Amino acid sequence: MEQLHVSIPTNDGTSDLDLDENLDNLVTPLSSAPITTGTFKEKFVSVYEQLFSGKEPYKNKETFWQELFLLRVNSQFLENCILLTPEAELIKMAKHLQVIFKHCSDFILDQDNLRRTNALQTLCILFKGIFKKKWRNLSISLMTIVSGFQNSDEFFITLIQNTKQAILQQESNIRTKQMALALLVILLTGTENMNQNAIIDYFTLEDVSQCLFYIMELKDASLKMKKNSIICMDILCNYRKYENVNNIYLKSLSSLKKPSTMMSMCEIITKCMYLWNTSFEKSMLTSTGVLNWVVGWFTSSSNHPSSSSPHKPKNLNEISPMLLAMYELIHLNDEFVGTVTRSLATPSLAKIIIVDSQQQSQTKQTPDATTSTRACPVILQEFFKFASILFQDACYGNAQQQQEANVSAQYYSHFCIIILLCLLERKPFRVFMFDVNVHQDFFIFKRQQVNQQQWTTKEYKGTGSVARIIMQLLIDFMVHHLMWFPVDLYKNALTAVHSLLCFGKKYRIRFGVEWRELWRVLISICELIAKDHVRDKVKACFVLEQCLILLNLGVLSGELFLPQRMDHDALLYEVICRAQSFIAVDDWVRRNLKKTNPVNLLMHNINLILKDVGGFVDAEFGLNSNPSLDRVQSALRTCFASSELTKHTHLEQRAEYVENPNEVTFFNHLNRLFVHECRQIVDHSFSTNNK
């Protein structure tokens, strides 16, 4: 499985993917039958058996540690030394263990790269074992075993400094850098609640942002290494984000102006999304939906399918670090969106190299400079593709085996909508988004019908505005999630649609989307509110108000942003056909809201249309005749022109996106999910059963 995970290089030059097969050839671990005196014993095992039994083989032997760190690390055995030793015994031998940790930290800066790598790998395995083991109090036990409370500040700051140097020093080979980065990931993902991880406090004292940026730009670094640097930056940016106003990593990201670093981050995000989308395209266009596809990863992760499988399923955690990084850059950095919409959108960048799962390069063409002044950046193309998948496959089933996939899909759908909201707040993106001369030559995924598992693609060719693509994505989301109606997601989706309509009217852009689907889904949402599908009356009122604002915008100002008169006719037709839904809404409003509530004013025009236009159609064609739109089109236009509708001045008043406090709860849950997935990745990377 091509899976985002911590890169664990081995000493003999093999890649991290081969590490587990090598471990199978090592000596039997502690969890199996004990090794007898007559059994051949690996020297590494023999030494650590002495160390964990309280002996001090390093005494009176000056070269002990130099020789030990030349030995190949038996990861399985070393981790079992932590996991299978009772907590009380580990606390008793704390002084001996502190000696091991101290020398491992010191040898990170040894002149010999093999010793460096082995010292780092030893630390990785020891810390992984500690974080995996159940403790009465993890923080107290960890500090006691690793360094002692009195020396913990000095030890961890020195450890982080040494690890930074191992990454930045030119003398360090790529395997040493890989292992140093793996150690950072393990330390940062020690607890599933990152805000309870005391070790991260030391990263606030010792800034590692520059060494992470260095890895992102390093030509020799693999994509896995660059992913891991993104993971580290994500965690450090979100650590106690709402408590610590002086987060140095948020400041580093917000003040980042170096073009090469920004371009490197864009490239990493783009490649990861490309790989995920390509895997989906290969395995899903003829398959059964993203839910079963994602669940397939969870069920197969225990069985570890063979490498001969042509299109293995990918987990959503492949993309989660990229989404977090993309969001923070858009939200915090004033230069990033400009870089994306200027530098990455220029046709002079004729080629962008994408690396597939076999690390074979493929070339993705952007338009020639003679065809357009701007092109849709590949990073946006891949993000739109990814969002189109989640937006159209609602993963909210109740089956126990699907629960984890459901949670991931729901949170990342919500996150994609938030990213779109952040993009809409950026003026450079709005100017770019409503440029009708942007060249487009890509597709998004399209589900043929709701509740059916057949997928196809919707092509975007030639020139046009990016706004129409975003609007279509949001319409698809609202249509395909209506059965489950996650109200928090709909709140943000409706806010995004409202912003698009307001800005579209301002920039005088008409973009062709499936407008009739939008009118239908807005009325369906109103109907769900009227049927009390939302228990929270405050949220229900907000969603209902947003729907009525959009319907009023379409009725009163549709000629300014709708591409055809037929789209306006379709709105009037849908309102009349769904008259019973609005009667139910009227009843709900009277029962639950005060007369001064803005919803009452917004319902006035709807009721007037039902009375004047609807009454005229009924008189012309008969009650319950259900004539088609083509038959009543002329009557709709004639009657609407004579209707005296109320002009609302507040329809274009929009609230800007604010993360704190509006989305604090969401991000707290998202960060827990993210770290949980990263811990699974770490466990998988060191798994001795994974082949």
Output the 3-class SS for 103-164: HHHHHHHCCCHHHHHHHHHHHHHHHHHHHHCCCCCHHHHHHHHHCCHHHHHHHHHHHHHHHH
Model confidence at 285, in pLDDT bands (50, 70, 90)? low
pLDDT of 304 strictly over 70: no
Rounded to 5 degrees, what are φ and ψ at 545? -60, -40
Check residue 35 and give its pLDDT. Answer: 38
Per-position b or e across 182-191, b if 16+ CB within 10 A of its CB: bbbbbbbbbb
Which pairs from 46-53 meet CB under 8 Å and 24+ separation? Answer: 47/71, 48/77, 48/78, 48/81, 51/96, 51/100, 52/81, 52/85, 52/93, 52/96
To 10 degrees, the CA torsion angle through 116, 117, 118, 123? 90
What mean pLDDT, rounded, does the chain reach?
Answer: 83
Check residue 300 and give its pLDDT. Answer: 43
Lookup: tokens for 219: 């030509």
pLDDT tens, 165-205?
999 998 899 999 999 999 999 999 999 999 999 999 999 99
List 445's β-bridge partners, or say none: 457
Residue 661: cis peptide before it, omega within 30 degrees of 0: yes
DSSP secondary structure of 327-342 = HHHHHH-TTHHHHHHH
pLDDT tens, 102-121?
999 999 999 999 999 999 99
- Angstrom distances, CA of residue 450 to CA of 287, 389, 477, 479: 15, 13, 11, 8
607 touches 577 (CB < 8 A): no
Distance in angstroms (rounded) separating the CA atoms of residues 681 and 548? 45
526 touches 585 (CB < 8 A): yes
* Phi-psi map region of 485: left, alpha, beta (phi>0 left; psi -120 to 50 alpha): left
Lookup: tokens for 357: 């799962």
Residues 6+ apart with CB under 8 A from 364: 351, 352, 353, 354, 378
Distance in angstroms (rounded) separating the CA atoms of residues 396 and 485? 10
DSSP secondary structure of 390-448 = HHHS------GGGHHHHHHHHHHHHHHHHHHHHHHH-HHHHHHHT-TTEE--EEEEEES
CA 433 distance to own-chain centroid: 22
- Which among 555, 561, 570 is positioned nearest to 632, based on CA atoms? 570
Lookup: tokens for 2: 């091509």
136-140, 199-203, 314-318, 353-357: which range is least confident on average? 353-357
Distance in angstroms (rounded) separating the CA atoms of residues 626 and 576? 10
374 touches 439 (CB < 8 A): yes
pLDDT of 399 strictly over 50: no
Distance in angstroms (rounded) separating the CA atoms of residues 3 and 318? 7
Check residue 290 and give its pLDDT. Answer: 52
pLDDT tens, 445-456?
998 777 667 888
Cα dihedral sign for 84, 85, 88, 90? negative
29 touches 76 (CB < 8 A): yes
Check residue 308 and give its pLDDT. Answer: 33
pLDDT tens, 220-273?
999 999 999 999 999 999 999 998 888 999 999 999 999 999 999 999 999 999
354 touches 364 (CB < 8 A): yes
| Higher local confidence (pLDDT), 71 or 305 | 71
Distance in angstroms (rounded) separating the CA atoms of residues 489 and 566? 30
Distance in angstroms (rounded) separating the CA atoms of residues 688 and 691? 8
Residues 6+ apart with CB under 8 A from 85: 52
Check residue 2 and give its pLDDT. Answer: 37
CA 29 distance to own-chain centroid: 37
pLDDT tens, 34-69?
333 434 578 999 999 999 988 999 988 889 999 999
To 10 degrees, the CA torsion angle through 140, 142, 144, 148? -110
The SS3 assignment for 84 reads coil
pLDDT tens, 521-530?
999 999 999 9
Across 273-287, 445-459, 601-615, the highest mean pLDDT is recorded for 601-615
DSSP 217: H
Helix spans in 426-513 (H): 427-433, 467-480, 487-507
| Higher local confidence (pLDDT), 536 or 306 | 536
- Which among 354, 508, 381 is positioned nearest to 438, based on CA atoms? 381
Report the pLDDT averaged over residues 199-219: 96
3-17, 143-157, 496-510, 591-605: which range is least confident on average? 3-17
Distance in angstroms (rounded) separating the CA atoms of residues 178 and 187? 14
